[in-house]
Amino acid sequence: MTLTPHGGQRPLYLDVSTERLRSNMAALRRRQSGQKIWAVVKARAYGHGLDAAVQGFKEADGLALLEIEELAQARALGWKKPIVLLEGLFTESGLQEAAHFQADLVVHCAEQLHWLLTKSAQAKEFLQGKARVWIKLNTGMNRLGFTACSLDAPGASGANNTLLALGTDLEKLRAVLGPGRLGFMMHFAQAESKSDSYQALSVFHKALTLLGHKPQDEPISLANSAAILSQPLACSGWLRPGILLYGSSPFQWKLGGSEDTQASQALPMEFCTASQLTTQLLAIQELRVGDGVGYGLRYKATRPMRIGVAALGYADGFPRTAPDGIPMMILGKRCPIVGQVSMDLIALDLTEQPLARVGSSVEVWGDTLPLDEVAGRLGTLGYELLTCLTPRVQRRISSDFLSLG
């Protein structure tokens, strides 16, 4: 009988290093001296856990997230600096909680602006506080924001969510907020493209002029991780790094290509991966020629071979669509996936690692197998792999996961 390691506790861990989070924040400070930094911690801090992020990002000027629940948790963990709700409020009733937790609000549509100007008790409580309101401008991405691109377009004045729709409401908001409490924000659709980014910046600054922007009193926020790395002109005001702080590139890794292309995809050397996903082998199977592996018997052995079965599946967040050949690391050797990823298990070809045994550690990503490479081979980005990890993946927070052995 094969026993599951650790006395029945499933051996699948995301180890998170608070020291590496801190180091990445310090590296960004060195690159962008003098700029304010929102550390983006939405989606449970990109899967790392909000508690780890609050510890690791102590030197940030503020946190950026989405939900009131995350906001309350960050305050409960002791975060006293600013926190901004990146999508603003989803209902007017959220104003009371935003006021209670002293959250900055993004306003991206006429409805949200109306909630602040209704003279309700909740609006009054928020407006009498000290938190900022950030007007989000749509400069071409066409997700959230007052559309700045259509200022000169015929018929734009009739649209509900253009800058023209702000009308006198913006001046009313300025009046009730007072100096220093109004800011402006945008988001790049293609930060890796200089021409598209310059166009978006041009639209943004034109909109600021038309809106009577007061540079001394009204801060701006432009750059996410991709823009920080590729668009120096965007690195002013409050920066909004996300994936960069967790040690992953915002650009998709691609196999091959020129040295220049590979360099542009790579994470700068001063940043380090802040997490490691590991599992263990639960069983070893000996295959004959022609034997299949997994559901649908997608993979067929062309030679006698050993496969290891590890505790990892799509219910943990690893893609069911992963093809044969995606590598994982066992005792310093790359061992590829063979067969269909199932809900709880994954099979690996042990040809290159004859020393592997039940209980051997499997690195899904980490220091020796970069997250960005794994994501690139899967046709996605590190963002998706991190944020798709489900709650049954055990999180272990330490100063550095190398100390866990």
Residue 232, domain CATH: 3.20.20.10
In this structure, the answer to whether residues 122 and 168 fall within a common structural domain is: yes
326 occurs within a structural domain: yes
Lowest-pLDDT range of 5-9, 227-231, 337-341, 376-380: 5-9
pLDDT digits (tens, 9 = 90+) for 59-110: 999 999 999 999 999 999 999 999 999 999 999 999 999 999 999 999 999 9
Judgement on whether residues 151 and 294 belong to the same structural domain of the protein? no
Residues 183 and 208 in one domain: yes
* Residue 400 or 369, more confident: 369
> Of 259, 281, 307, which one is at a domain's C-terminal end?
259
Tell me the pLDDT band of 158, cut-offs 50, 70 and 90.
very low
Percent of the chain clearing pLDDT 70 (strictly above): 91
Pair 233, 374 in one domain: no
Please state, rounded to an integer, the average pLDDT across all residues of the chain.
91
Identify the domain boundary among 195, 230, 259. 259
Instruction: Please give the structure tokens belonging to residue 162.
Output: 């253009």
Report if residue 264 sits inside a domain. no
Note whether 274 and 303 are within 8 A (CB).
no
Q: Which of 42, 136, 246, 299 is catalytic?
A: 42
The pLDDT confidence band at residue 256, using thresholds 50, 70 and 90, is: low
| Domain end marker among 259, 293, 309 | 259
Q: What is the number of structural domains in the chain? A: 2
Pair (253, 372) in one structural domain = no
- Confidence label for 6 from pLDDT (cuts 50, 70 and 90): very low
Q: What residues contact 385, with CB distance under 8 A and at least 6 apart?
A: 317, 318, 365, 371, 374, 375, 378
Question: Is 105 in the same domain as 210?
Answer: yes
pLDDT in the model for residue 203: 92
| Residue range 349-356: mean pLDDT, rounded | 96
Q: What's the rounded Cα separation, in Å, for the pair 71 and 54?
A: 12
Sort strands 103-107 and 361-365 into parallel, antiparallel or unpaired: unpaired
Q: How far apart, in whole angstroms, are the C-alpha atoms of residue 203 and residue 139? A: 6
Mark whether 295 is an active-site residue: yes
Q: Look at the pTM and tell me if it is higher than 0.85.
A: yes
Is there a contact between 12 and 328 (Cβ–Cβ < 8 Å)? no
Q: What is the CATH number of the domain that holds 312?
A: 2.40.37.10
- Supply the range of the domain harboring residue 393: 6-12+271-404
**Do residues 357 and 242 both lie within one domain?**
no
Which is more confident, 153 or 180? 180
Residues 39/63, Cβ–Cβ less than 8 Å: yes
148 is a domain residue: yes
What pLDDT score does 402 carry? Answer: 66
Q: Given 194, 198, 254, 295, which residue is catalytic? A: 295
Confidence of residue 193 (pLDDT cuts 50, 70, 90): confident
Look at residue 157 and tell me whether its pLDDT is greater than 60.
no
Q: Are residues 41 and 167 in the same domain?
A: yes
Rounded to an integer, the average pLDDT of 225-243 is: 93
Among 301, 346, 351, CA closest to 320:
346
Q: In the prediction, which pLDDT does 267 show?
A: 82
Average confidence (pLDDT) over 275-282: 98
Q: What is the pLDDT of residue 154?
A: 41
Same domain for 154 and 292: no
Same structural domain, 34 and 161: yes
| 66 occurs within a structural domain | yes
The CB density around residue 331, as the number of other CB atoms within 10 Å, is: 16
User: Is 155 a domain residue?
Assistant: yes
- Find the radius of gyration of the CA atoms of the chain: 24
> Both 124 and 90 in a single domain?
yes
Indicate whether 367 belongs to any domain: yes
Rounded Cα–Cα distance for residues 170 and 57 (Å): 33
Is residue 209 assigned to a domain? yes
| Per-residue pLDDT, 7 | 56
pLDDT value for 5? 47
Residue 385 lies in a domain: yes
Residues 280, 239, single domain; the answer is no
Q: Which residue has the tokens 């691109």?
A: 149
Q: What is the pLDDT of residue 263?
A: 45
